[in-house]
């Protein structure tokens, strides 16, 4: 028997998509679309918004879509209508179907509340260690979504990781096509709806900083010092290197970022060493994993900085 009944009301679908779009995405490119189907919801990778230079294989776009799918799942769970899901390797990166109704758990409520509060922080982080329970909770959040999150605890290893980020950033910046693409999503972008405007870019990177931030065109600042002398950094990955593994990483990424926000932690992301294959391989060996690392994350305490914007919900929904 075929059914033509949609599974969620148009209003419930639109509300879930309105939460999904607040996911992080590479350069705030928002490479996603959402389709209400007869048996569920599709999250689609919008190829037209993939970054051809820094993301030739679509890894970063898939991580971004996975993060959006996690928000979608959370938004549906928060209404008592949790969804099951299947990850795909084609243009439909995630297909969600309704599961048995179930009241949201306290944790789901808290993480849902953080969707609009979480943001990437490119300002200086305070020089205070993350409280003892922090890393344990973040590792557990990644594990719940089938990922690993390895904190880099040894001082020498942090310095080595910082060196990898710096050398990857240098290699990327040496390519004029890369800098042109970066500028298109910063100074060239329509910041009301996409890309990273000067308000969210953070101060201009300075050579004295241990962790080399991507240069999104922010202005210089009076103090070039990053207050955190010993940053809390971790490497995120899953048990695989295929296209669907990047989507799975994105779900875990968003679970970790929302958990961090719930713990009062600021977060920042560094994907430069993942985008340069030789650096990614060095990073993989340094954390002793079989599969590719997918992202480097930083956690700490920092004042809230400016938020990026999103396209209207109607623009990302398939008719
Ligand atoms: C896969 C991925 C890679 C990212 N890489 C970086 C990065 O290298 N540097 C950075 O500052 N932010 C990075 N970000 C953060 C995005 O720039 C950020 O999510 C986007 O601008 C939206 O802003 P928001 O996170 O504050 O909502 C990355 C995000 C994702 C999902």
Residue nearest to atom 10 of ligand 1 (CA): 269
Cβ–ligand 1 contact at 122 (below 6 Å): yes
pLDDT tens digits, one per residue of 180-232? 999 999 987 788 999 999 889 988 888 888 999 999 988 876 555 565 668 99
Give tens-digit pLDDT for 274-284.
999 999 999 99
Cα–Cα nearest to 138, from 251, 253, 302 = 253
Q: Give, using CA atoms, the residue closest to atom 13 of ligand 1.
A: 269
Kindly report the CATH number that applies to the domain delimited by 133-300.
3.40.109.10
Same CATH fold, 133-300 and 10-117?
Answer: yes
In DSSP notation, 144-174 reads HTTEEEEE--SHHHHHHHHHHHHHHHHHHHT
Cβ pair 252, 146 in contact under 8 A: yes
Helix (H) / strand (E) containing 285? helix 277-287
- Our answer on whether the CB atom of 189 is closer than 6 Å to any ligand 1 atom is no
Q: pLDDT (tens digit, 9 = 90+) per residue, 160-183?
A: 999 999 999 999 999 999 999 999
Give mean pLDDT, residues 147-166.
96
Pocket lining: 120 vs ligand 1, CB cutoff 6 Å: yes
Residue 40 Cα to ligand 1 midpoint, Å, equals: 28
Q: Which CATH number fits domain 10-117: 3.40.1050.10, 3.20.20.140, 3.40.109.10, 1.10.3720.10?
A: 3.40.109.10
Tell me: the pLDDT tens digits for 70-113?
A: 999 999 999 999 999 999 999 999 999 999 999 999 999 999 99
Atom of ligand 1 nearest to the CA of 120: 26
Measured distance CA(66)–CA(72) in Å, rounded:
10
Strands 232-238, 266-270: pairing is unpaired
| Contact call for residues 218 and 196 (beta carbons, < 8 A) | no
Q: Of all atoms in ligand 1, which is nearest to the CA of residue 63?
A: 1
| Cα–Cα dist 34/72, whole Å | 10
What residue ranges do the domains of the chain occupy?
10-117, 133-300
Binding site membership of 28 for ligand 1 (Cβ less than 6 Å): yes
Q: Which atom of ligand 1 is nearest to the CA of 27?
A: 17
Q: If you ran DSSP here, which 8-state letter would residue 256 be given?
A: H
């Amino acid at each position: 028997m075929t059914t033509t009944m949609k599974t969620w009301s148009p209003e419930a679908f639109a509300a879930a998509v309105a939460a999904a779009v607040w996911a992080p995405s590479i350069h705030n490119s928002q490479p996603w679309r959402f389709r209400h189907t007869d048996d569920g919801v599709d999250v689609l990778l919008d190829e037209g918004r993939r970054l051809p230079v820094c993301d030739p294989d679509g890894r970063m776009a898939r991580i971004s879509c996975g993060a959006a799918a996690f928000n979608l799942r959370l938004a549906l769970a928060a209404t008592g209508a949790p969804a099951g899901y299947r990850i795909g390797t084609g243009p439909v990166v995630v297909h969600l179907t309704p599961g048995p109704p179930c009241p949201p758990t306290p944790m789901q409520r808290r993480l849902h509340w953080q969707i609009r509060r979480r943001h990437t922080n490119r300002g200086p982080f305070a020089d205070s260690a993350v409280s003892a329970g922090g890393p344990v909770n973040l590792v557990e959040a990644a594990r719940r979504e089938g990922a690993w999150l390895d904190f880099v605890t040894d001082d020498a290893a942090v310095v080595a990781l910082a060196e990898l980020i710096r050398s990857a950033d240098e290699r990327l910046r040496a390519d004029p096509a890369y800098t042109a693409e970066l500028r298109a999503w910063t100074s060239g972008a329509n910041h009301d709806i996409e890309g990273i405007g000067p308000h969210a870019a953070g101060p201009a990177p300075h050579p004295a900083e241990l962790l080399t931030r991507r240069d999104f065109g922010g202005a210089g600042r009076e103090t070039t010092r990053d207050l955190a002398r010993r940053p809390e950094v971790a490497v995120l990955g899953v048990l695989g290197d295929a296209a669907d593994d990047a989507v799975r990483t994105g779900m875990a990424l968003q679970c970790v970022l929302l958990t961090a926000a719930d713990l009062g932690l600021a977060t920042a992301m560094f994907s430069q060493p993942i985008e340069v294959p030789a650096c990614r391989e060095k990073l993989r060996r340094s954390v002793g994993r079989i599969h590719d690392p997918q992202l480097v994350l930083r956690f700490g305490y920092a004042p809230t900085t400016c938020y990026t914007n999103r396209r209207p919900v109607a623009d990302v929904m398939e008719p």
